[in-house]
Amino acid sequence: MSDVVITPEVLARYNKPGPRYTSYPTVPAWTEEFGEAEYREALNDLATRTEDPISLYVHLPFCAERCTYCGCNATVTTRTDVVDKYLDHLEQELALVVPQMGAQRRVVQMHWGGGTPNFLNQPQMERLVGLLNKHFAIDSDGEVAIEFDPRIGSVEQLEQIRELGFNRISFGVQDINPVVQEAIGRIQPFEQTEKLFRASRELGFSSVNVDMVYGLPKQTDESFRDTLLAIRDLRPDRIACFSYAHVPWVKPNQKLIDVTALPDTFTKFSLFRMAIDMMGEVGYDWVGMDHFAQRDDELAIAARERRLHRNFMGYTTRPASNMIAFGMSSISDLVGRFAQNEPHLGKYQKMVAAGKLPIVKGYKLTEDDLMRRQVILHLMCNLELPYDLTRTNYGMSLQDALGEDLERMEAYVEDGFIELLPDRIQVTPLGRFFVRLLAMELDAHLAKTSQRIAFSKTV
């Protein structure tokens, strides 16, 4: 990608606010009219599809302290009884949901996110694993992943996590520079991260990954290069390189960020370009928007073969058609519906304690939504749109399905973002940086949702 030239002027012209398309329709299009009754209907529909495997997500929101840059739905506490109470309510939520969909459904992908999942102590982790095994049949060959904060972790905890059946682990690193760490309120000596990372290799995790963030306060070309070099030396299987989104009106903790220390738009973009080039030099493929994977990793292989998929848990090669989520703020994606749990801890626990499914909003996709979802997610993952993509499921060509919307997207040929080939639209190396902008041309909800939310920039 080093030969792709993007000037500050080009970036300023095309760096527009837009969705990241972790779903379609995106969350702002969802409605509070979708509630408990609609979620029960979805679970009942899922119950009739007994052979469909599922993905499972559990949100564990607790952290020992709040990082100033964080955009996650997290709760700060130091009390183990607060976590125990949360697990009580997770147990109740499981008891409400599972009978509706059928017990012992096969799970091919499970992910614990947060917050800080390894904030849970050993008895708490054992309890939660026991609850999930009671209700689900977790595939022995499935992906069982957990997010891990090295600041509070230990080798002994890694051993316990491995013994509980987790085979994938992601280490939160963000940045190794002490000045940047001070600016974001996350002091994390790299020696601790390195020690635990290498221990996880020895323990036999099949995939050991790293999360980092670019665009943080005090980051410079030099400091970020040092972070990239340190992560390269670890040789993680996959790297998530997320863009920092400064939204203090949504996340009040970000008000503590010194905005004068944030890199400007072009500098921030240059940091990501550096990541692409440096990781490519040592055998990583750029996958999707913001991930890297070693070239022999199944994720990189799937991207090259244009069969990459994406859901709320990230990029994957083994998509289950239904994802069931538990815990505050978690999002389920099942049988053509999205359903989001109550995001506030106290309200979530009150609803569950009252025997209610804690759904606060959701959406039932129309036939047009389902078609556009297939198209947009394929574009975002695989950087192409075959003209016959919609024929099998919807009985029409891409041109017939999208009409004028596709014509608007084809206008980006002149900008060098796409090529029109005989059998498909192909995103160019230049257009890859603006793939969200291309997807926005196919979004039937965007005009309405843009009036209700400030999206992040496309780059």
The CA distance from 149 to 171, in Å, is: 6
Q: 78 pLDDT exceeds 60? A: yes
The CA distance from 206 to 223, in Å, is: 30
Is the backbone peptide bond immediately before 178 cis, with ω within 30 degrees of 0?
A: no
E-strand ranges in 350-407 read 359-364, 384-386
* pLDDT bracket for residue 449 (50, 70, 90): low
The annotation status of 395 as a binding-site residue, yes or no, is no
The annotation status of 241 as a binding-site residue, yes or no, is no
Fold of 24-324: pyruvate-formate lyase- activating enzyme (3.80.30)
The annotation status of 452 as a binding-site residue, yes or no, is no
pLDDT in tens, 89-115: 999 999 999 999 999 999 999 999 999
- Do residues 360 and 340 make contact, with C-beta atoms less than 8 angstroms apart? yes
The annotation status of 114 as a binding-site residue, yes or no, is yes
Q: Where is 239: in which H helix or E strand? A: strand 238-243
pLDDT in tens, 193-209: 999 999 999 999 999 99
Q: Where is 114: in which H helix or E strand? A: strand 105-114
List 286's β-bridge partners, or say none: 292
Domain positions in the chain: 24-324, 366-447
The annotation status of 381 as a binding-site residue, yes or no, is no
Q: 453 pLDDT exceeds 60? A: no
The annotation status of 37 as a binding-site residue, yes or no, is no
Coil, strand or helix at 455: coil
C-alpha angle 112/116/119, rounded to 5°? 105
Find the length of the chain: 459
The CA distance from 51 to 15, in Å, is: 44
What pLDDT is recorded for position 3? 83
- Which residues does 154 contact at the CB level (< 8 Å), separation at least 6? 196
The annotation status of 57 as a binding-site residue, yes or no, is yes
E-strand ranges in 250-403 read 284-287, 291-294, 309-311, 314-316, 322-326, 331-334, 337-341, 359-364, 384-386
- Do residues 1 and 286 make contact, with C-beta atoms less than 8 angstroms apart? yes
Note the helical H segments in 66-189: 80-101, 122-135, 155-163, 178-184
The annotation status of 283 as a binding-site residue, yes or no, is no
The annotation status of 71 as a binding-site residue, yes or no, is yes
Coil, strand or helix at 6: coil
The annotation status of 411 as a binding-site residue, yes or no, is no
What pLDDT is recorded for position 312? 83
* pLDDT bracket for residue 450 (50, 70, 90): low
| Mean pLDDT of the 18-30 span | 91
Fold of 366-447: Arc Repressor Mutant, subunit A (1.10.10)
The CA distance from 94 to 134, in Å, is: 10
What pLDDT is recorded for position 217? 97
| Mean pLDDT of the 357-366 span | 98
C-alpha angle 337/341/342, rounded to 5°? 145
Which of 174, 149, 170, 314 lies closest to 244 in space, CA to CA? 174
Residue 318 amino acid letter: R
CB atoms inside a 10 Å sphere around CB 448: 12
Q: 39 pLDDT exceeds 90? A: yes
The annotation status of 186 as a binding-site residue, yes or no, is yes
3-state helix, strand, coil in the chain (%, to 5): 45, 20, 35
Residue 89 amino acid letter: H
Q: 325 pLDDT exceeds 80? A: yes
pLDDT in tens, 158-185: 999 999 999 999 999 999 999 999 999 9
- Do residues 53 and 106 make contact, with C-beta atoms less than 8 angstroms apart? yes
What pLDDT is recorded for position 452? 43
| Mean pLDDT of the 407-416 span | 92
In the chain, the N- to C-terminal Cα span, in Å, equals 15
Quickly list DSSP for 132-163.
HHHHEEEEEEEEEEEEE-GGG--HHHHHHHHH
The annotation status of 113 as a binding-site residue, yes or no, is no
pLDDT in tens, 428-444: 999 999 999 999 999 99
The annotation status of 22 as a binding-site residue, yes or no, is no
Q: Which two tokens stand for residue 48?
A: 């009739």
List 425's β-bridge partners, or say none: 385, 420
Q: What is the DSSP letter of 72?
A: S
